Structure 1
Amino acid sequence: MSYYTSLTGLKNAQTELNVISHNIANAETNGFKKSNTQFADIISSSIVTDPSLTVGIGSRVSVIAQDFNVGAIEQTGNALDIAIGGEGFFTTVSPKSGQTEYTRNGAFSVDGSGFIKNAQGARLQVFPSVGGVTNTAVHQDAQVAPTNAAGSAYASVTIDQEGMVVASYDDGSNVTLGTVALANFVAPSGLKQVGDSSWKVTGKSGEANFGAPGSGAFGPLNSGSLERSNVDIAEELVDLISAQRYFQANAKAIDTATQISQTVINLRT
């Protein structure tokens, strides 16, 4: 029994080491959210078992919980680098698959077709409104026209704290493209990680609730800034040492059980 009990500990320690390693590897990934491993004990008992004689048979990973605390905000000076100063996720849609993803990484740029997109090509979603958002159920790709109605060429695009996306043209005119669509969830820890600092909706997270930056629980936007990873290297290194000791202790318990078994076998022979 002691072999299997300690074996659960070894597996858990390996899982924790993997999670910590993943956190450390993404310490410089913009918009990344660290994860924490939580364990639960396993008890072997039945309705006739004396509670005072209940024996534990190890532990298991109960959950690998994502930590959505806001990371440090870094100034970049790029107009299309935007950080959310509070709750919310940017909404993006892949032009190839049509799938909607959510991210805290606000590093955007304009492609050759005028779409505002992230490094993976997913297009930033905006509410098609000018004088305030009235319908959060409708959002569309943010796209800059190469020329305005007067034929002047596109010059630049900016996004303010309220999420208004404004394109400027050579003749000095401005065109509002819409308001950045932010999403929030009842249980963000239930979101599915899909890589590239992005998440998808699951049954555990609940459906997305959309809103404009700076409204309700949604944080305002910080233009010219990016949200860094919320990984604390010092904390992760301490956890790494703890996980290593956890692994070594369980390995030692298996070694001790092996020695006891060997002693019993030698006595019988």
Structure 2
Amino acid sequence: MSFFTSLSGMRNAETSLRVIAHNIANAETTGFKRSGAQFADLVATGNNTDPRLTPGIGATLAGITQDFALGPIEQTGRSLDLSINGSGFFMVTDPVSGETSFTRNGRMEVSVTGALQDSFGGALQAFPVDATGAPTSAVPANVIIPMSNAAGAELANISINPRGLVTAAFNDGTTTPIGIVALANFAAPNGLRPVGETRWQASGDSGAPAFGNPGSGSFGQLRSGTLERSNVDLAGEMVSLLAAQRNFQANARAIDTATQITQTVLNLRQ
């Protein structure tokens, strides 16, 4: 039994090493959130088992949790770079499949069609507004930036204020409000399903998204010209890496010791 107990420890140490390696690999990934492996012990027991004589039979993976703590904010000076100072996720929609994802990576750009999108082509979602900048709908939609205004003046620049209002400025000095960036919150963000590209999708464990404006209620304000860096602490990950390595070595040594004891017992019987 000691062989299987130590084997479970080695498998868990290997899982922990994979999670730590993934964190370290994404230490410079914008909007990345570190993960941590959680384990639970296994016990062989029954109704008639004396609790004072109950042996453990190893450990198992209880889950891999995500840490959504705010990462360092980096100044970029680029108006379409956005970070959220607080809770919330940007909502982007795949233009082909229509699937909605959520991200903390606020590096946005304007496509040739005028769509405001993230680095992977997902269309940023915002609440439509009227000419005064007041929202006209609670249903988010794609952000489309006009390349010129009614007078024919070309687009000069785009600005986004802390409340999420996207404004297009034109060469003739006029401005037009385009929309208010929509943010999403979840009752249990740890239940979000990671899908890669620093994106997550809602699941039964996370609950349905609740939408709102930046700076209102529990939603954080937007910071234009900044990006949120990964929240991975390399020093902490290196310490965890060493601990996982020692854990693996200790379990391997336990298997070696059990092998020696078994061999000794077999020699005695001979």
Q: TM (normalized to structure 2)? A: 0.97
8 Å CA contact retained: 2:104, 2:198:
yes
Describe the SS at the equivalent of 2:97: coil
In structure 2, distance between residues paired with 1:37 and 1:51 = 29
Q: Among the aligned pairs, what percent are the same residue?
A: 53
Q: CA contact under 8 A between 2:66 and 2:190: conserved in structure 1?
A: yes
Q: Distance in 2 between matches of 1:209 and 1:134?
A: 18
Deviation at 1:132, TM superposition (A): 3.6
Where does residue 15 of structure 2 map in the other structure? 15
> Take 1:109 and 1:204, find their aligned partners in 2: how far apart are those partners?
32
1:122 to 2:109 alignment = no
The unaligned stretches of length 5 or more in structure 2 are none
Q: CA deviation at 1:48?
A: 0.5
- Within-5 A mapping of 1:79-90: 79-90=79-90
The Cα offsets for residues 39-72 of structure 1, whole Å up to 9 and x where unpaired, read as 1000100000011111110011111110000000
Deviations 1:45-100 (A, max 9, x none): 00000111111100111111100000000000000000000000000001011000
The AA in structure 2 aligned to 1:111 is S
The code of the aligned residue for 1:214 comes to: G
Count of aligned positions: 268
Aligned AA (1:70): L
Shift of 1:135: 4.4
Q: Which runs of 5+ in 1 are unaligned?
A: none
Contact 2:158–2:169 (Cα < 8 Å) also in 1: yes
**Please, what is the CA RMSD of the aligned residues?**
0.9
2:52 pairs with 1:26: no
Tell me the equivalent position of 1:75: 75
Contact 1:129 1:178 in 2 (8 A): yes
Report the counterpart of residue 242 of structure 1 in structure 2. 243
CA distance, structure 2, for counterparts of residue 90 and residue 221 of structure 1: 10
DSSP-derived class of the 1:144 partner: coil
CA contact (8 A) 1:133 1:212 kept: no
- Residue 145 of structure 1: CA displacement? 1.1
User: Are 2:141 and 1:143 aligned?
Assistant: no
**TM-score relative to the length of structure 1:** 0.98
- 3-state SS of 1:248 partner: helix
Q: Is the 8 A contact 1:188 1:205 kept in 2?
A: yes
Query: Partners of 2:27 and 2:45 in 1: how far apart?
Result: 43
2:175 corresponds in structure 1 to: 174
Q: Return the alpha-carbon distance in structure 1 between the equivalents of residues 213 and 260 of structure 2.
A: 65
CA distance in 2, matches of 1:143, 1:134: 16
Q: CA deviation at 1:107?
A: 0.3
Shift of 1:150: 1.1
Counterpart Cα distance in 1 of 2:47 and 2:121: 57
| Alignment match, 2:66 | 66
**Shift in Å at residue 158 of structure 1?**
1.0
> What residue identity is the alignment partner of 1:263?
T
Shift of 1:176: 0.6
